[in-house]
C-alpha cells in the first residue's frame, strides 16, 4: 500500500496508560496458549500508539493511489491514526496471524474455461470464523482480568492492522506491500484485539529480508507497483476484480488474464512462500473442491442464483455483476468455444457493465479467429458492427476447445 520501509522504523507516539497486571508476562503466556487452542497461528503484542507509518499512508492517499477505496479510507483516516477512538483507554493491540494457504504455495493449474480466484477466497468467508475466535479470546481476557475491556477487529474498523502486526513482530513489509513472516510467508490473515490492559510489547522485525529480490514487482502484469512497497490500487487486479464496480479500464483488461476475484501473482512468486506452512482448517478448503470457477456458469447466474451459490463466501463482495463482468473479460483473454453461448447471452444481461464486457470479449474472439463468424453475427444482431481492428488491448491467448 504505502512505502512503509522508507520511514523511520520506530513506534509512534508514546503508549497509552492502561491497567497493568502484576504478572503481565504470565498473562501473555496464557494468552498465547488460549489463542493457539482457538486456532490462531501466532500472537504478538503491540503498544497502542499512532501507527508508525501513518504519514506515509496519508501521502499515499493524497496521491490518489487507493483506487476504489479512496473515499472510504480518506473519510476514516482520522480514526486510523488514533486507535483510542476505536476503544477508549486502549493500551495494547493483540495481533493474531492465521495461516490460510491450502494445497501448498504454488500456483494452481487452471483449466480452460475456468476463472482464477485468490486462494484466500477458496473457502468460507474468513471474517465469520476469525470474528468468532477473536470474540472468544476477548471474553477469556475479560474474565481473566475482571473489569478490562476488549474490541476485536477483523477488517471491521479503520485500524492499521499491518502496522500493528509489524510492531508486534509478526513480519516485515515486503516489496509487494504484504506482511511477510520469515517462518510462514505471507499467506495469512490478521486479526486484532484492542484492550485497555497494558501488556508487554514484542519487538518489531526491523530487518528487510527482501534484499535485492524484485520478483513480485517484475511479475505484476498490470505494473501496479510504481515503486517498492507502493501499491497503485487503481491498477491492482485484486482491486479491479473485487472493489471496482464499473468497467475495467481498456488498457488493463488484457493484463487481468483469467483472474476473476483477487490475484495471488505477487505472492506466488515470492521465495518466502515456497515453504508456507499451509492450513488444514476446514473453512479454508476450496468449496465443492473448486479452486477455480466455470466462467460459463458464472455468466449464467441471476441475482438469486448468485446469492445461493456464494452464500457465506468472500466472493459475495464482488456482487453478481462484478463477477460476471470479470468472467466475460477472462473469456476475452482466453477464448473457450464451449462457453460461447453463455458469452452471447451476457450481451443481453440486465447490467450495462456485463453487456459491455461481453462485447469486448467477443470482439477479441473475432480478432483471434475463434468462431469469428458466430461472434460477429451475435454482435451484429444487437447493433454492434466490429471491424478487424477494433478490438481493445493486445491479442488474446490461444483458444481452448
Q: What is the pLDDT of residues 275-328, one digit of tens each?
A: 888 899 999 999 987 889 999 999 999 999 999 999 999 999 999 999 999 999
Reduced to 3 states, what is the DSSP secondary structure of residue 81?
A: coil
Which residues does 356 contact at the CB level (< 8 Å), separation at least 6? 247
Q: How does residue 106 score in pLDDT terms, banded at 50, 70 and 90?
A: low
Residues 205-229 have pLDDT tens digits of: 999 999 999 999 999 999 999 999 9
Q: What residues act catalytically?
A: 155
Looking at the DSSP bridge assignments, the partners of residue 190 are 97
Does the CA dihedral 265-271-275-281 come out positive or negative? negative
Mean pLDDT for the chain? Answer: 91
Answer yes or no: is pLDDT of 104 > 90.
no
Q: Residue 103 pLDDT > 80, yes or no?
A: no
pLDDT (tens digit, 9 = 90+) per residue, 224-235? 999 999 999 999
For residue 223, is it left (φ>0), alpha (ψ between -120 and 50) or beta? left
3-class secondary-structure state, position 218: helix
Residues 72-94 have a mean pLDDT of 96
pLDDT greater at residue 8 or residue 141? 141
C-alpha cell recorded at residue 77: 483516516
Give residue 19's pLDDT: 59
* Alpha-carbon separation of residue 141 from 84, 134, 326 (angstroms): 19, 11, 44
Determine how many CB atoms are found less than 10 A away from the CB of residue 280: 8
Question: Lowest-confidence range among 159-168, 174-183, 348-357, 390-399?
Answer: 390-399
* Predicted confidence band of residue 44 (pLDDT cuts 50, 70, 90): very high
- Residue 193 host element (H or E): strand 188-195
- The predicted model scores a pTM of 0.91
How many residues are listed for the chain in this entry?
A: 401
If pLDDT is split at 50, 70 and 90, which confidence band does 248 have? very high
Are the beta carbons of 299 and 327 closer than 8 angstroms? yes
Q: pLDDT tens digit string along 318-377?
A: 999 999 999 999 999 999 999 999 999 999 999 999 999 999 999 999 999 999 999 999
Instruction: Write the DSSP assignment of 114-131 as a string of letters.
Output: EEEE-GGGSSS-HHHHHH
- The residue assigned the cell 529480508 is 209
Determine how many CB atoms are found less than 10 A away from the CB of residue 79: 14
Look up residue 190 and give its three cell numbers.
490478521
And the C-alpha cell for 225?
507497483
- From CA 344, how far away is CA 352, in angstroms rounded? 14
Amino acid at each position: 500500500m504505502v512505502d512503509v520501509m522508507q520511514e523511520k522504523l520506530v513506534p509512534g507516539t508514546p503508549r497509552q496508560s492502561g491497567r497493568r497486571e502484576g504478572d503481565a508476562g504470565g498473562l501473555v503466556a496464557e494468552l498465547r496458549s488460549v489463542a493457539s487452542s482457538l486456532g490462531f497461528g501466532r500472537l504478538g503484542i503491540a503498544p497502542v500508539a499512532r501507527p508508525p507509518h501513518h504519514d506515509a499512508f496519508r501521502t499515499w492517499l493524497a496521491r490518489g493511489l487507493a483506487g476504489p477505496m479512496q473515499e472510504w479510507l480518506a473519510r476514516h483516516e482520522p480514526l486510523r491514526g488514533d486507535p483510542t477512538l476505536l476503544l477508549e483507554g486502549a493500551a495494547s493491540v493483540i495481533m493474531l496471524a492465521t495461516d490460510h494457504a491450502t494445497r501448498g504455495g504454488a500456483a494452481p493449474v487452471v483449466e480452460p474455461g475456468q476463472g482464477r480466484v485468490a486462494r484466500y477466497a477458496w473457502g468460507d468467508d474468513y471474517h465469520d470464523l476469525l470474528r468468532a475466535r477473536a470474540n472468544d479470546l476477548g471474553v477469556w481476557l475479560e474474565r481473566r482480568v475482571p473489569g478490562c475491556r476488549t474490541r476485536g477487529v477483523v477488517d471491521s474498523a479503520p485500524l492499521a492492522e499491518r502496522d500493528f502486526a509489524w510492531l508486534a513482530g509478526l513480519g516485515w513489509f515486503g516489496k509487494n506491500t504484504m506482511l511477510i513472516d520469515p517462518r510462514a510467508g505471507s499467506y495469512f490473515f490478521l486479526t486484532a484485539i484492542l484492550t485497555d490492559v497494558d501488556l508487554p510489547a514484542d519487538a518489531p522485525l526491523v530487518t528487510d529480508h527482501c534484499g535485492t529480490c524484485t520478483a513480485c514487482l517484475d511479475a505484476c502484469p498490470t505494473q501496479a507497483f510504481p515503486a517498492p512497497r507502493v501499491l497503485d490500487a487503481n491498477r491492482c487486479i485484486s482491486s479491479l476484480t473485487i472493489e471496482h464496480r464499473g468497467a475495467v479500464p481498456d488498457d488493463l483488461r488484457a493484463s487481468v488474464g483469467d483472474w476473476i476475484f483477487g490475484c495471488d501473482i505477487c505472492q506466488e512468486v515470492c521465495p518466502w512462500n515456497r515453504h508456507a506452512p499451509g492450513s488444514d482448517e476446514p473453512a479454508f478448503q476450496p468449496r465443492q473442491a473448486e479452486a477455480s470457477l466455470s466462467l460459463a456458469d458464472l455468466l449464467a447466474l441471476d441475482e438469486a442464483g448468485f446469492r445461493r451459490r456464494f452464500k457465506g463466501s468472500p466472493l459475495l463482495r464482488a456482487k453478481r455483476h462484478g463477477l460476471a463482468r470479470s468472467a466475460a473479460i477472462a473469456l476475452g483473454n482466453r477464448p473457450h468455444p464451449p462457453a460461447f453461448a453463455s458469452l452471447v447471452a451476457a450481451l443481453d444481461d440486465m447490467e450495462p457493465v456485463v453487456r459491455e464486457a461481453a462485447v469486448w470479449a467477443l470482439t477479441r474472439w473475432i480478432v483471434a479467429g475463434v468462431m469469428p463468424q458466430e461472434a460477429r453475427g451475435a454482435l451484429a444482431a444487437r447493433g454492434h458492427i466490429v471491424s478487424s481492428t477494433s478490438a481493445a488491448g493486445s491479442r488474446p491467448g490461444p483458444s481452448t476447445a
